[in-house]
Structure 1
């Protein structure tokens, strides 16, 4: 049993120090930071809660990738603790977006569907490219899995933003934008729970 645990830890350490994994993280970090700048400006200009929520998600992901790079060569306990920090950030993002969607419902402003569609398409292309790069690294410790969950949720969120743009265009109302913002909040909260459970399990067995 002890030998099995040692072999598992050695495998985790090799995966954490994989140069291909680090390269992909750097590319993902750069892409997410750039898209945050693009999308936050477009979201404010278009008055879209969904775009602004997605922009903040890009920023959070860039920070998460930076954390993953920082702890990549450390022991499993440190990587698990970093995953707990990322789970907390995902939870915080989800709760913030949920509150912002409620505020948008009360404010009653209608976003611009054209800008939502254009920027949402660009964001989808970037997130799908990142998700494809990270797909081969989706298994492993909580730190690595949290990166995959973030990229997966981003691609799903961008499809939802495009659906919101169509909904706003078709109805002339804000509720599709607010609905998608709420869905993105739910994805973040669910993802944080997945990462938290695995990180706690790893800390317990470390």
Structure 2
């Protein structure tokens, strides 16, 4: 098997195994690291943890840009290209950036709304769902920052976002424990109403992303994130209905715990990258 390091001339298609690459945060780090690499074309397979790069010159030059990211990148193979590979799907970076800004604004606004409503309604479910909105906003904001300023700024932003999410998730779990111990009376109708508003917001996000979901892995992942958020919103609404039907607080405490744990796990993944 030939490698780009042994045969530096011409164009090559190199395949890299990247064990720690499984979400858009890692993809954005890699895109930023390889920005400026002459003639590079990137194809990401997040589920398979692989990256294919069409490039000029030695594969070692690509690997040297990937290794500082500490994602465990390894060169699997590198083959000479006798003709260009299939054209990548056309994307409109400016349009994608506009969509990401809209997603950031929607999620940031709903974070504030749900957090305030959750406190007023004594609902840990709403408060935890607000953290989920914040987590998504952090992902979109970090992606936009990477486009504007590069990998170093993205790593710093991701670190701040990760620690912020972790702190808020832990506070949410403490709040769940406090309300479980001292008791709470969640306002079920407010839970369902704000949960429905959050559902509408996430459906709007899905509609915004839909036209770009095939344009790149990061947009596909954003679509998946919003789809998962819809499930969380439905969980809050169902919990509110159960609170209304039973008069008990445990459905709210349960959904609050589940969402907070999900956000905490996401924060750990972000911090692991930095």
Range into which the TM-score falls when normalised by the shorter chain: 0.7 to 0.9
Q: Which has the higher contact order (CA 8 A, sep 6+)?
A: 1
Determine if the alignment matches structure 1 residue 37 to structure 2 residue 112: yes
Q: Which runs of 5+ in 2 are unaligned?
A: 5-11, 15-39, 43-52, 56-87
Residue matched to 2:217: 140
Residue matched to 1:25: 100
Residue matched to 1:175: 250
Residue matched to 2:263: 188
Q: TM-score, normalised by structure 2?
A: 0.58
**Are the counterparts in 1 of residues 13 and 54 from structure 2 also a CA contact under 8 Å?**
no
Q: Shift of residue 4 of structure 1?
A: 2.8
Which of 41, 44, 48 aligns to 1:7? It is 41
**Are the counterparts in 2 of residues 131 and 155 from structure 1 also a CA contact under 8 Å?**
no
**1:109-160: per-residue Cα shift (whole Å, max 9, x none)?**
111101111110010110122134335169536xx68755653442222111
**1:48-76: per-residue Cα shift (whole Å, max 9, x none)?**
11112222333443344223211124556
> In the aligned structure 2, how far is the partner of 1:146 from the partner of 1:89?
22
CA RMSD of aligned residues (A): 3.5
**Are the counterparts in 2 of residues 21 and 137 from structure 1 also a CA contact under 8 Å?**
no
> In the aligned structure 2, how far is the partner of 1:93 from the partner of 1:138?
33
Structure 1 SS opposite 2:217: coil
**1:9-66: per-residue Cα shift (whole Å, max 9, x none)?**
689xx99981122111111122123223322332222111111222233344334422
Residue matched to 1:105: 180
Determine if the alignment matches structure 1 residue 151 to structure 2 residue 226: yes
The count of aligned residue pairs is 195
